[in-house]
């Protein structure tokens, strides 16, 4: 997402809406919920966090110094 997208009125409205949803969902997690209800809320929170992360630049990955998890085999 570029700077113009982040500054758009649409993004600002969506971001505010989903930030309010996060507050609500976190508040609900503090209540008396079943395991299933808790799992559903955590899933919703993860989806919203993923959506909101669109405004962050993707991480730069460099090859060469990392250990591959398969290098042990």
Q: How confident is the model at residue 66 (pLDDT cuts 50, 70, 90)?
A: low
Q: Is the pLDDT of residue 72 over 90?
A: no
Q: CA 61 from chain center: how many Å?
A: 20
Q: CA 8 from chain center: how many Å?
A: 20
Residue range 8-23, pLDDT digits in tens: 999 999 999 999 999 9
Please give the Cα distance from 70 to 25 (Å, whole number): 38
Residue range 30-64, pLDDT digits in tens: 999 999 999 999 999 999 999 999 999 888 888 77
């Amino acid at each position: 997402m570029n700077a113009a997208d982040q500054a758009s009125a649409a993004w600002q409205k969506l971001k505010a809406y989903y930030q309010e949803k996060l507050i609500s969902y976190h508040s609900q997690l503090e209540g008396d919920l079943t395991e299933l209800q808790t799992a559903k809320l955590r899933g919703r929170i993860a989806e919203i966090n993923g959506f909101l992360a669109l405004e962050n630049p993707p991480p730069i990955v460099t090859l060469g110094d990392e250990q591959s998890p398969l290098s042990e085999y």
